[in-house]
Amino acid sequence: MSPTSSATPAKPRKAPGNAPKSDVPADERAALDADIDRLEAGAKVWVALTLDQRARLLGRVRDAVGVVAQEWADAATVSKGLTPGHPLSGEEWLGGPYAVIGLLDALRETLEALAKGRSPLDGVTLDEAPGGRLRAHTFPLNGTEKFLLSGFTGEVWFEPGVSAIEATRAAGLAQLSPTSSGGVGLVLGAGNVTSIPVADVLYELFAHNRVALLKVNPTQDALVPVFERALAPLIEPGFVRIVRGGAATGAYLTSHPRFAHVHITGSAVTFDAIVWGTGTDAARESGTPKLQVPITAELGGVSPIIVVPGRWSAADLKYQAEHVATMRLVNAGHNCIAGQVVIVSSDWPQRADFLRELHAAYAAAPQRPVWYPRSEERLEAAASAYPDAVWSADRTRAIVAAGDGDDEVETVEYFAPILGVVEVGGTGQEFLDGAVAHANDRLTGTLGANVIIDPATEEALGEGFERAIADLRYGDVAINTWTAFNFLTARLTWGGFPGATLADVSSGIGVVHNALLLDRVERSVARGPFRPFPRSAGKGVFTILPTPPWFVSSRTGAEVSAGLTRYLVDGKLPGLVKTLTKAMQA
């Protein structure tokens, strides 16, 4: 492994304690140790920076991301078997440079507030959520957000018992004591969405005052040169290092005695291997983890899409069917964020109409490679478990009907384009409560839940609807939008529901993103419009957005996503006008 900046690396030195045994060649181990040397030196510089200096540093990173944005999107698109500028490349703009620029801007505003002696929550509306919880309305907070994403809102719910005074005082996390070092952290990057590794490194730096070594997933090796240039302002002073490597490199690093913390975005299987080791249950049975330092994780699970019955128009049925298809098919289903099980009412008079539209939208979505490692095995497993599955797109995607027992589609995160449908009885509150209980009790994981409900039905349910949302045991909930919105919104949090442990990690431990640096967060809730423009006029939540650019059915999603990112980069209004014109043609 070579250092990732042009600066001369620190001379390797012997690690304290016992060096980990490894299959990594000696020269690569020496290079990794040199990276850790450099980070340990950088940690001393980091804690000497003022908040103003850190805010300006974020501005430099932002500039660097803007310079490489096009290359970033193109490299990510090609890595997934598509060509640059492909109609589906909008996913790579939104899930790459767009998300990172939004996070950088929000973090910088947080640091600027703290530098002035203010809380990041100053000026944010706080009120009461169900169950006596405190809620912060963190999106939108500026005119650009209100205009470009009109009709969308976001809230952060704190754990029960947190007061407004406590939340306000604690906002800022490690930046409240910037001279206290969090040491050197190890970030094991995700392999599916390109903003994740960068965002996780930023969270280590700003939430924990920890400099970080990022080991990218091999699926993202092609992005390393882009990451190096985007993060050059952090790499050059020794705050970040980036390395490649496979399982052996990961094992060497997670066993290294000089890391203070590990963060992983991946699977529960990988998490358990890091924490407990492989090949034996002795460590788990003894309750003594192999890993000797704290670990946080964002893992995934089986995400529900609860479709609350109502009286929908033909246009509503078609639009929401495309919405559900999007939740599963973006990135070919290789998302921890993907919806996997649709919960519908067996007593809904429009059930058959909706499912017919869903099958049509699912089959009609643009075909693309199923690219993530071992995806073909998962497709074969679904074919074996569900011989009556409805396949489409040359048998690369399927919709399956879940039975009454323990179904694979409810317990196994396929990480592939397999969508399950399960029926729960009742209508109105009876159905919603039953669907929430089904999601909580039967589906694996606690990361994200999606709820689709028309305005009239939501109004009729009143407080019962909000109570049901509070009953969902998920770290992110999206109402009439997809939890991808939560993921992309910097001032919301992303992570599993609190309560996971090393022995039962579920969808992970801790949160990321969280640009306001809030403490003791329980969940984030996003809300969107049930109908797009122009049908949104006078019918519930109004929005100027037609079909959102992240929909797989959007004809102009790539151009709009690229245009929105460029507007964040340069702020040029003529480009934005052109982008909005394209959005209206979606």
Task: Give the CATH number of the domain where residue 451 resides.
Answer: 3.40.309.10
Give the model confidence (pLDDT) of 331-340 as tens digits: 999 999 999 9
Q: Could you tell me if residue 479 is inside a domain?
A: yes
Distance of CA 398 to the CA centre of its chain: 24
Q: Could you tell me if residue 394 is inside a domain?
A: yes
**pLDDT confidence of 404, banded at 50, 70, 90?**
confident
Same domain, 515 and 446: yes
Distance of CA 234 to the CA centre of its chain: 23
pLDDT surpasses 50 at 8: no
pLDDT surpasses 80 at 545: yes
**pLDDT confidence of 6, banded at 50, 70, 90?**
very low
Contact 477, 469 (CB under 8 A): yes
- As a whole number, mean pLDDT of residues 561-574 equals 96
Same domain, 341 and 273: no
Q: What's the one-letter identity of residue 66?
A: G
Q: Could you tell me if residue 37 is inside a domain?
A: no
Same domain, 250 and 338: no
pLDDT surpasses 60 at 573: yes
- As a whole number, mean pLDDT of residues 303-317 equals 98
- As a whole number, mean pLDDT of residues 58-75 equals 98
Domain range for 217 is: 45-68+171-293
- How much is the CA Rg of the chain, to the nearest whole Å? 23
**pLDDT confidence of 20, banded at 50, 70, 90?**
low
Cα 90 to Cα 112: distance, rounded to the nearest angstrom? 31
Give me the phi and psi of 62, to 5 degrees please.
-60, -45
Close Cβ partners of 79 (under 8 Å, ≥ 6 residues apart): 219, 220, 222, 223, 371
**pLDDT confidence of 23, banded at 50, 70, 90?**
confident
Same domain, 307 and 275: no
Complete edge-to-edge strand list for the sheet that includes strand 508-509 = 240-243, 211-215, 184-188, 261-265, 295-298, 508-509
Read off the pTM: 0.94
User: What average pLDDT does the chain have?
Assistant: 94
- As a whole number, mean pLDDT of residues 421-446 equals 98
Task: Give the CATH number of the domain where residue 176 resides.
Answer: 3.40.605.10
- As a whole number, mean pLDDT of residues 9-27 equals 58
**pLDDT confidence of 359, banded at 50, 70, 90?**
very high
**pLDDT confidence of 9, banded at 50, 70, 90?**
very low
- How many domains does the chain divide into? 2
Question: Beta 521-527 vs 476-479: how paired, if at all?
Answer: parallel
What's residue 586's pLDDT? 82
Same domain, 287 and 334: no
Same domain, 487 and 391: yes
Give me the phi and psi of 422, to 5 degrees please.
-130, 145
Cα 198 to Cα 513: distance, rounded to the nearest angstrom? 10
Same domain, 313 and 249: no
- As a whole number, mean pLDDT of residues 45-67 equals 98
What's residue 282's pLDDT? 67
Q: Could you tell me if residue 538 is inside a domain?
A: yes
Q: How many CA atoms lie within 13 A of 174 on its CB side?
A: 21
Query: Helices (DSSP H) in 47-194: which residue ranges?
Result: 51-79, 90-93, 99-115, 143-148, 164-170
Asked if residue 140 has a cis previous peptide bond (ω within 30° of 0), the answer is yes
Give the model confidence (pLDDT) of 122-143 as tens digits: 999 999 999 999 999 999 999 9
Q: Could you tell me if residue 85 is inside a domain?
A: no
Beta strands in 226-288 (DSSP E): 240-243, 261-265
- Bridge partners, residue 322, by sequence: none
Same domain, 364 and 272: no
pLDDT surpasses 90 at 102: yes
**pLDDT confidence of 356, banded at 50, 70, 90?**
very high
What's residue 155's pLDDT? 98
Cα 329 to Cα 323: distance, rounded to the nearest angstrom? 10
What's residue 433's pLDDT? 98
Q: Could you tell me if residue 117 is inside a domain?
A: no
Cα 249 to Cα 263: distance, rounded to the nearest angstrom? 15
What's residue 224's pLDDT? 98
Cα 4 to Cα 25: distance, rounded to the nearest angstrom? 19
pLDDT surpasses 70 at 301: yes
Give the model confidence (pLDDT) of 460-481 as tens digits: 999 999 999 999 999 999 999 9
Give me the phi and psi of 368, to 5 degrees please.
-155, 165
How many residues are recorded in the chain?
586
Close Cβ partners of 390 (under 8 Å, ≥ 6 residues apart): 359, 398, 399, 400
**pLDDT confidence of 286, banded at 50, 70, 90?**
confident
End position of a domain, from candidates 266, 293, 320: 293
Cα 46 to Cα 22: distance, rounded to the nearest angstrom? 31
Contact 1, 28 (CB under 8 A): yes
Same domain, 311 and 445: yes
**pLDDT confidence of 103, banded at 50, 70, 90?**
very high
Cα 473 to Cα 438: distance, rounded to the nearest angstrom? 11
Structure tokens at 252: 């060497």
Give the model confidence (pLDDT) of 198-224 as tens digits: 999 999 999 999 999 999 999 999 999
Structure tokens at 466: 């909000």
Same domain, 274 and 392: no
What's residue 278's pLDDT? 82
**pLDDT confidence of 284, banded at 50, 70, 90?**
confident
What is the 3-class SS of 476-512, one letter each residue? EEEECCCHHHHHHCCCCEECCCCCCCCCCCCCEECCE
Same domain, 241 and 271: yes
Same domain, 331 and 253: no
Contact 148, 133 (CB under 8 A): no
